[in-house]
Chains A and B, each alone.
Chain A
Amino acid sequence: MGDMKNPSSNDFIGSRKGLLISPELCIACRGCQTACKEWNNLPAERTKNRGSHENPPDLSQNLYNKIRFVEVAGNKGFEWLFISQRCMHCGDAGCLSVCPAPGAITRNELGAVVFNKEKCTACKLCRAACPFDIPRFDEDGRISKCHLCQDRTENGLLPACAKGCPTGAIRYGDRVDLMERATKAGYKTLYGSTDLAGMGAMYAFKELPEYYGFDSSPSIPASVALWKSILKPLVVIGLGASVVAAAAHYVTSGPKVNEKNKVNEKTEEEGDK
C-alpha cells in the first residue's frame, strides 16, 4: 500500500476509506451503538436516568460510538437531532502525532486511526491532543476508542455501525465517492472533508456545523502544540546548557579549596621551583 503516513500524499487520499454520517437520516434507534458493542464485545453499562433519552451519557471504554441528542430551536422551529459521536479518524490526527509509544496508535492502510493496547503506556496524551475529546481509557489507563472496525474493514466487511444502521444515516466506503454522493444530494456542508487534512468520519449537514454542536474549524489544542514543539526541545537545550555551564565553571574556577590547602599548594609549588 502507499504512503499512509503523509495525509497530503496521493496514496493517502486515493485509498482512504471513511464514514459519511447524515444526522437528518438518523432516527436514534441506536442500532449502531448496539452493533458496535456487539462486534467489539463491549459490555453494557449501568446508567442513571438523567431525564434524557440520550444514554449512556458519554463515551467510555465500553462505548466507542454514541448517539448524541441535540435539541435546537432554529429557523424551522424546534428540531431534535441525533448525531453519532466517535473518533473522527483525522488525516492530521493529534493523538497519532503526540503519542510517545511507537506502535500504540497507528493509521491502517484504509486510513483509520487504530490502536494497540499492548503498546499503550497509559500516558493519556492522546485525549489531551484530540480536537474532539474522543479517547477514553480502560481500568489500566490504556486507550479505548473507535477503530472503524479494523478487523472487519480490513477483511472487506462494513464497520458494525454502518452495517447495523437501518436508515443509511451511516455509510462506509471510499472517501472520495462518499463526498461526491453528499454533494450530489445537495447537503450544505460536508464537515470533515478538508479540516485536519480530511477526516475519516465526515458529516453531511444541511446547516452550519455549529447548529449540530460542532466546532466549525477544529484544530489540535494549542497546549499540546506548545508541549510538542517548544517545551520538549527546550528541555534538551536547557539540560545541555546547564551541563555546559557547570563544566565551564569547573574549567575556569576549579573546585573550592580550603585556604590552608591553598597555602600548602603554594608552598609546594615554590619548593619545586
Chain B
Amino acid sequence: MDYWDIKEVVREMIPRQNVLVPVTSEGGFRKGRRAGYKEYKLFPQGWNEYKRELGGMKSAFEVSCKAAGCPSPLNLDVWDGKVCYFNCNYCFANHFRSTLYENFFDRVPDGLRHVDLGEFERELGDLMSARFQSALEKMSPEKRAIALRIPIRLGVRFENFLPQEKRDGISLHVLRLLAKYHYPVIIDTKSILLAEDEYLEAMASNPGGVVVQLSLSSANPKLLKAMEPGAPSPAERFEAARRLNEAGIRAVLRVEPFLPFLADSRSEMGEYASRAKEAGVEWMCWDSFSYSTASAVTRRLFQEARLDFDRMFLAASDSRMMTGILLYGMMENFRSLGFRCSTYDDMNSHLNEDTLCCNVTGALSGYRMNYGSTKAAEAFIHSRQGPTGWADYNTHVMKNGGFLSEELREEMWKLWNHDGNAAYGMGWLSVVPSGRDEHGLKWAPAEKNPNLERGLEVIRGN
C-alpha cells in the first residue's frame, strides 16, 4: 500500500471546500488600535499598566519548552524580530510576535534585532566552561545541555540568515565562535546565504560538524510563492543544497510542513526527488503541520492564496492518525527512491534512520542526545528485552548525565504514566504498556507502532 493508495482513502474522508466568492484581503482601518496602545492587567490592588518593553535580548540560548519530546532541544537564535521577511503564511512566530513585541518594535524601524556580540561571546564562554564538568545539579538547563554536548540548533525560533545578516555578519561571527569551541551545530533555515563562501568556510572549519536543514516543502515554485512569498525559490534552495554538499557540509532537506493535497501529487514529489538527488541530498526530515499554528489568521492567509487550509490541516495535523499514515506513506516512497528519512512524528519515529530525528549521524562528532525525552525513552525500551519501569529509565538517564532540569524530569514522569500533555505522551510511540510497579507504568517494545498499524487498518477498510 503506497502513499497514493492511502490518499485514495483519505480523500474520501476529508473533502475539499467550495467557496461562493474568492477570499480576498482588504486594507483600511479596523475598529481597535494597533499602535501606541496601553495594556492593563487586574491585580488585587487594581488595574496596573502592563508593559512589554523587552530591551536587549537577555539570552540567545534556550532549552526548548518541548524538550520532553525532543532529543536535541538546545535552541540558539541570534536574530529575532517582529516580522521575518520570508513571510511564510504558516509561521507560528509572526503572529505571536506581532502581539508580544508590539511596544518594542514601535521603536525599531526594520523590526529586527540581534544579539550584542560582546555579551554573546561572554555568555557563550560561560556556557562552554561547562563542557568538561560533571557536577550538573546546580547548572542551568542550557549549561547542562552544553555539558552533555547536545548539539546547538540555530533557527528553531527565527530565521538567522535574512538579508540583514549578509549586511551585519552576526550569525557568521557566531558560527566562527562555535567552530572555535569545536561544538556541533544544526541549522534550520530557508535561506541560501549559507551556500556563500565565507559561511561555508565558517561551517567547514568546525571540527564538531555542522548540519544544515534546508526547509523546503515542495518543488512547486508557484505554490511556494503563495505560501512563502519572501523566501528563496525551490531552484535556489536546491542549488544551495548542492553547494553545501559539495563543500562537505551535510544539507538535509526538511519537508516541514508536509502538505497533503497541496504538495503531494505523484509528479510533483517525483520532481522533488529527482532535483534533490541532483543536489546530492541523501537525508530528509519530515514533519506534520504545526498544530499550534492553526489560528484564524493562518487559515485566512491560506484562503487568500486560494488554498484549502482545512483539508490540509485535518489530514496533516488535526487527526494524528491521518497525519501518521500519510507521513508513513510518503516517507516510504522517498525511502524506496534511496533517501534516508527521519521524523519527529511519534507514530513513525521508530522507523527513523537517525539516532536524532535531525539526521546528524556521521555528520556531527562527539554529540549526545537529550536522554530525558520520550524518543530517547522509546529507544531505551527497545534496547531492553523485557518490560521497562520508570526506575530503569531514570537510572539510564542519570548514567548519561541526567535530565536537563527537574521540571523536565517531572514532565517526563507524567508522560511515562499517561499524564501531562497527551499530544506528546508515550502512548503514541512504538511501545505498549506491560504492567505496573511502584513508580507507575511499565513499557515494552512493540514490533510495530500500534497507532500506525491501527491507522493502516482503517485505510484498508478493516
Q: Do A and B come from one complex?
A: no
